[in-house]
A = this chain, B = another copy of it.
């Protein structure tokens, strides 16, 4: 079931930037978004609040910016539209890469579903676009498949899985200890083993092996990768 949410152009831009930054860097930070869109960080902050209310982004104060499933789908759709318009202008009309990309930014907010699909058909017909590409995925999206990994505490990760640290929740001494062990935001951890009662947990991070108590691991918010 397609829900049509009515995002403003700005919010679409924010969403798209978040999507891109997560693809590129693994995470989207307020300042990164602000730099990309050439606006103040405080403006991004306000935008995030709205996206949060719309249920497209999950954001806690000072916490990592993550897309919800709905947010991921919405962002992908916008990104895809952008890409199609870009390809169309650049490949079919021969518009320079820079201008084509720029124009795509503006047009993506205005183009109807119908025109978009006609562009896709045209690109496929002229072999500028393979069918399994971004554009085509859109049509398949109706089957609800899991597109964003869940946020979960490290002690809940099963042995053998890898995850990326989103946030260390605890405060003070404990937090300090965890971060000194290299458990910073963005770090990749692999759960190597768990003792019978789930305590301690053996993990590998940045090339080191560590042993964590369950209550310590329970303070670390991660996303499976």
CB distance from A85 to the nearest CB of B (A): 9
The reply to whether B103 and A112 form a contact with Cβ atoms under 8 Å apart is: yes
Binding site secondary structure of chain A: helix
CB distance from A129 to the nearest CB of B (A): 14
On chain A, the number of residues with a Cβ less than 8 Å from chain B's Cβ atoms is 22
22 sample A-B contacts, Cβ–Cβ < 8 Å, listed by A number: A89-B118, A93-B118, A94-B118, A95-B112, A95-B114, A95-B115, A95-B118, A99-B114, A99-B115, A100-B115, A103-B112, A103-B115, A105-B110, A106-B107, A106-B109, A106-B110, A106-B111, A107-B107, A107-B110, A107-B111, A109-B110, A110-B110
Given contacts A94-B118, A95-B115, A99-B115, 5 further A-B contacts (CB under 8 A): A93-B119, A95-B114, A102-B112, A103-B115, A105-B110
**Residue among A93, A105, A106, A122 with the highest chain B CB neighbour number at 10 A:** A93
- A53 on the B face (CB < 8 A): no
Tally of this chain's copies = 2
Is A96's beta carbon under 8 Å from chain B? yes
CA distance A92 to B103 in the complex (A): 19
- Tell me which residues from 79 to 97 in chain A have a Cβ below 8 Å from any Cβ of chain B: 89, 92-96
